[in-house]
Amino acid sequence: MPVFFELLKAEPSAAVRAVLGHFFFVYIHPYMDGNGRMARFLMNLMLASGGYDWLVVPVQRRKAYMDALEAASVDGDIGPFAAFLGDLARQEE
């Protein structure tokens, strides 16, 4: 966890902190119950710290959300997850 907090502290972009913070929290804290809710809450705190609106993952997009997280975890490719969150942010505008 100390490395997690150092990573977040060192990143100047709130949007990047939100993507990385959400992913790494889920990755290092792999509990089935409550893990996603806490990760999304932390993500939104990091977004708010940079003046961004909060994001809500609609139930209809849950599979795409989980697939993007899976790609980051299994394939080591965080791009689809960042793109998914970016798409959500654009839809909120």
In order of 31, 59, 83, 89, the CA distances from 16 in angstroms are: 23, 24, 12, 13
22 is catalytic: no
Q: State the CB neighbour count (10 A cutoff) for residue 85.
A: 21
Give the Cα separation of 34 and 37 in Å (integer): 5
Residue in 6, 13, 28, 29 annotated catalytic: 29
In order of 37, 71, 76, 80, the CA distances from 44 in angstroms are: 11, 21, 23, 18
Active centre residues (catalytic): 29
